[in-house]
Amino acid sequence: MCLRGDYQAIKVIKEREKLLLMQGIAIINDYNKNNHREFDVIISPLRDTPEYAVYHPLISSFKNVVYEEDPEKALNKAISYPNESFDKAIVGIDPGKLCGYVIFADDLIINVGKRGCDEIGEEIKSRISKIDHKRIEILLGSGEGWSEASISLLGSGLSYKIIREDEVARHMPKIPILNIFKDRDIRSAVAIALKGGKM
């Protein structure tokens, strides 16, 4: 349940709603004070907003409320609830003309995207800074563009491990989660993460 009405929160939810729903996590954007027990976790509105004035008195006594200003961090905290953080984050990167990436947090895919390989380090650093986690592993495929991605990752202070893409292609896992994605780069990034991270 998200009670945020600000533009940034709505944008984050719209970007990730379908991905999360396909994994069994539904985000609801409206609230009825009579059915609050149905929700596993509630993302509080920002202070000094009309939503806060309306909803805060109704949710202030709940234990399952996430208060966080950054909407992406708030959503990630809500996904990990009731735990305070994820145990392990795994990033899979498929280099090419663009770098496709996927971010697993424990057994959930919480983010996917594509970025120029010269910018992938900044993108991944920004995304993982919004995920509370105990351990992280970044896995970079060995395909064309890997050296550019490598420079970008190292320039952003991120260490990584190379995964041979020929091995990934030979042993592409046949799992339902791959069917979520139509984009080949994202599918490859998922396979790299699964192969290297041994999830």
For the ranges 58-62, 79-83, 92-96, 149-153, the lowest mean pLDDT is seen at 58-62
Domain ranges of the chain: 7-80, 86-197
Give tens-digit pLDDT for 129-141: 999 999 999 999 9
Axis-axis angle for helices 71-80, 7-21 (nearest 10): 40
Chain segment 33-45, per-residue pLDDT in tens: 555 556 788 888 8
List pLDDT tens digits, range 6-63: 889 889 989 999 899 888 888 887 655 555 556 788 888 888 888 888 888 888 888 8
- Between 168 and 141, the more confident residue is 141
pLDDT digits (tens, 9 = 90+) for 92-124: 999 999 999 999 999 899 999 999 999 999 999
Tokens 């390989």 found at: 117
Q: Residue 101 has what pLDDT?
A: 97
Bridge partners of 114, per DSSP, are 100
- Fold annotation for 86-197: Nucleotidyltransferase; domain 5 (3.30.420)
Query: pLDDT class for 199, splitting at 50, 70, 90?
Result: very low
**Count H helices, E strands: the chain?**
7, 7
pLDDT at 181: 84
Question: Which pair of structure tokens corresponds to residue 147?
Answer: 């050296």
CB-based contact 137:197 (threshold 8 Å)? yes
